[in-house]
A and B are shown apart, each in its own frame.
Chain A
Amino acid sequence: MSGSHELSRRDFIKVTTGIVGGLIGAVIGLPSIYYLIDPALREGGKEAWIPIGKFEDMQVGVPYPFSFTRVQVNGWERTASSFGGYAIRKSDSPEDLLVLNSRCTHLACTVNWHEESDAYICPCHDAKFSMAGEVLDGPPPRALDVYDEHRLTADGLIEIFFKEA
């Protein structure tokens, strides 16, 4: 280009190649990035009301065990996961119900109610939780998780509100 303001034929080719190449790169490159990170941008968290048992079957002061499975679709595959817990009635009122998740807050094993020990015991590292879910013994960092929304249906069923992770 020495001294002149005109674009030489060679420089014109270079610039055009650069621009066209850049355009093609952007038109394909940007969608490609979206394609790669798409699963990370998905809103998970499907919600549902899940029946866990008849209210009249739950006795005051005795943990009532329940379990259910949910099917999750991951890409082209379906995975069934099991969930469970205990419903504890404190009085006659259906409002007065505590629904615990039986997933141990230490490393996610499933705890079981042991009548004779008056505690939920985790088989993995011997954690103990009180009937209301507080840690009595062992490594767990916090009390058992609670399903905090529940309702009584017209047919006398207790349903809990469940949201997928």
Chain B
Amino acid sequence: MFKNIYDWLDERLGLNDLYTNLLDRPEPKTTWWNTLGSASMFLFIMQGLTGIFLTVYYTPSPDHAYDSVQYIMEGVAFGWLIRGIHHWGATLMVVLVFVHMLRVFYTASFKFPRELTWLIGIGLFLTTLGMGFTGYLLPWNQKAYWATTVGTQIAGTAPFLGEFILKALRGGPDLSALTLQRFFSAHIWIIPAVLVGLMGIHLYLIIKHGESHFPTKED
């Protein structure tokens, strides 16, 4: 009975093919280093879920952002757990993505035909950093405020366009309600959307080309 339903669905959706291609595709001899990409993806999903939960109580306005974070930590059941996972997951994700990139570099896996996988990967690394940068401001405490002041100031030292970049990031010459609001928007909508898109291409390319062999002495 269940088999019949499954077969009916499989004929139309290609479930078996999906399974084989996603989870059961042939791999060269791999090591734990090959799991770092999947680990980054897992962390991204965790960040997404805990982030969605945080928005249930967080509010991105200068007069309430700090209090709402305080409320999450002390007023809501398991708020500390959700925020804790999101907080430490953010740091861990940057580290993992970076180590994943190092391993791809050291095993020379970025070469033909995987150059685009590498380039997309650089986009993934930069957007991951962007998530960290925009997320850091959201608690609107002293550290967040000054870190963003400094961070945007550094971006402002770029030649020619510096002042424009600084104003575009801050939504004006100074850190204000506009800065908090646009960082929030970037953190929960814009950057994740870009990241998901890049991840999709990244994964497609990995499935298309398969995992690379680690180079041997002869290579």
Q: Contact between A32 and B64 (Cβ–Cβ < 8 Å)? A: no
Mark interface residues in A23-49 (1 if CB within 8 Å of B CB, else 0): 000001001101110110000000000
Q: Contact between A36 and B85 (Cβ–Cβ < 8 Å)? A: no
- Which among B56, B64, B81 is the interface contact of A76 at CB below 8 angstroms? B64
Q: Contact between A32 and B53 (Cβ–Cβ < 8 Å)? A: yes
Across-interface contacts of A28 in B (CB, < 8 A): 81, 85
A-B contact count (CB 8 A): 38
| B150 beta carbon closer than 8 Å to chain A | no
Across-interface contacts of A32 in B (CB, < 8 A): 49, 53, 78, 82
In the complex with contacts A28-B85, A36-B53, A76-B70 CB distance below 8 A: yes
| A3 beta carbon closer than 8 Å to chain B | no
Chain B min CB distance to A153 (Å): 35
Q: Contact between A35 and B78 (Cβ–Cβ < 8 Å)? A: yes
Across-interface contacts of A38 in B (CB, < 8 A): 76-77
**In the complex, A56 Cα to B215 Cα: how many Å?**
98
Q: Contact between A36 and B56 (Cβ–Cβ < 8 Å)? A: yes
| A141 beta carbon closer than 8 Å to chain B | no
Closest 7 CB pairs of A and B: A76-B67, A31-B78, A38-B77, A76-B71, A35-B78, A76-B68, A34-B77
B interface list, Cβ under 8 A from A: 49, 53, 56-57, 59, 64, 67-68, 70-71, 75-79, 81-82, 85
A interface list, Cβ under 8 A from B: 28, 31-32, 34-36, 38-39, 75-77
